[in-house]
Amino acid sequence: MRISYSSLENFENCPLKYKYSEIDKIKEPKTKEAIFGNYIHRVLKWFYQQDPHFPTLEGLLEYYYNHWPASAKATAGEPKKEEEFVWQDEHEEKDFFQEGMRILEEYYKKNFPPKSMIMDLETRFEAVIDETPDEPGGKHILTGVIDRIDKLPNGTMEIIDYKTGKRMPSQNDVDSNLQLSIYALGLKRKWPKIKLEDLRLSLYFLKFGEKIETTKTDQDLEDTQKKIIGLIHKIQTSSFEPKTSPLCNWCGYRPICPVWRHFYENGSDKEFNGINIEEKIDEYFKLKSDKEQLDDRLKELKNTIEIYSRQKGLKRVFGTNGSFNQEVSHKISFDKNKLKELLEPLGKWEEILAIDPKKLQKVLKEIPPDAREEIEKAKKIEKAYEYLEANEKSKKDWEEDLH
């Protein structure tokens, strides 16, 4: 199988997104964050391509201004590229534009003049991954593009990947980052003489002006290969179910994805078999809210009745349409050893030891990660049930979250 790092990442994040992109070959409409990120990458690539005649800060910002994927700067009648229509309005465009200026200015001040030698930009690689003989499947080719490779004054090589996201991960996250491990594999394949101890792997978080570095060992790369093979096997047997997460907010497939499609349908598309589902859903939540109010009132009444009966020392109180009895309930426990002694010979002991999934979830949080992983491997899905889950978030709130 030939697969890129970004496809593997897509599959891990959402199998359905992988299917749309890699199997159905549906082009994903780019979000403005993606267009902004790509543009910053492009500007930095141009900057380093000028080596050794690097532009001044003004020159860098001038290039940034002149090539900005903007609708505001396009003159009347001039054909616009698809990506020029990304901004919702002038304010949004201005915010993104200024953020880009800030990022580049800070980047320049912090990194110029370069302390390292630029070896390559947007380096394409292919790494062959061999499955072990006892696992079927043969060879896989993993592909990817590394933003930048530098050679530091002490001879160490550094892989740098730029990130424009709003979140900066922890050092631990970067140490276990799959992308960097795959890049190390790719680089070893491209330049086999490179020693891992002479290789630094960095993620540069442009919004924060921070670079987080890590290194890899031979064992890490072996583990990475196993993980990749595991993911490839999952892809080969996947039913490509949607996996919702905050990443949906930036997914361009929302208008066709079964989780989100209905959100984008207009009036007549929503009616089916004469049912206006929006009305039914609104009625459901209205009744649910009425029921909650009724439940609160019932609780209040029961409480008053209970206080009244206790204060008057009554075991039963009467209304016109019914009555209330004071009853006693007992919390019961058993002597576990005695119970085992009695039930085991009858072959019934195992039956009452059924695993309680809720208790297991709690225990999983308390035990070491390797034991947790082993327990996860022992998990079997006996049967899948589909059920409807109600969510009281309003359409307006969803709209505010989506990009």
Which residues, listed in sequence order, are joined to residue 157 by a DSSP beta bridge?
151, 199
Which residues contribute to the site for ligand SF4 (CB under 6 A)? 14, 16-17, 242-244, 247-248, 251, 253-254, 257, 259-260
In the complex, the smallest distance separating the C-beta of residue 388 from ligand SF4, rounded to whole angstroms, is 17
List of residues 6+ apart from 62 with CB closer than 8 A: 55
Token couple for 120: 């390559």
Shortest distance, position 241 Cβ to ligand SF4, whole Å:
9
How far from 389 is each of 11, 293, 386, CA to CA, in Å? 25, 21, 10
In the bound state with ligand SF4, the residue whose beta carbon lies nearer, of 13 and 116, is 13
Within 132-217, residue ranges assigned H as helices are 171-175, 178-190
Nearer to ligand SF4, 32 or 243 (CB): 243
Q: How far is the CB of 232 from ligand SF4 (least distance, A)?
A: 20
Quick one: 249 or 326, whose CB is closer to ligand SF4?
249
DSSP 24-66: S-PPPPPPHHHHHHHHHHHHHHHHHHTTTS---HHHHHHHHHH
Q: What angle do CA 247, 253, 257 make, to 5 degrees?
A: 95
Shortest Å, Cβ 10 to ligand SF4? 9
* Residues forming beta bridges with residue 110, ordered by sequence position: none
With respect to ligand SF4, which residue has the nearer C-beta, 41 or 254?
A: 254
Angle at 335 (CA atoms; ends 331, 339), nearest 5 degrees = 115
Least separation in angstroms between CB 260 and ligand SF4:
5
3-class secondary-structure state, position 100: helix
Q: Sign of torsion, CA 192 195 199 201?
A: positive
Q: Which is nearer to ligand SF4, 29 or 114 (CB)?
A: 29
If the CB atoms of residues 13 and 177 are measured against ligand SF4, the closer one turns out to be 13
Least Å from the CB of residue 254 to ligand SF4? 5
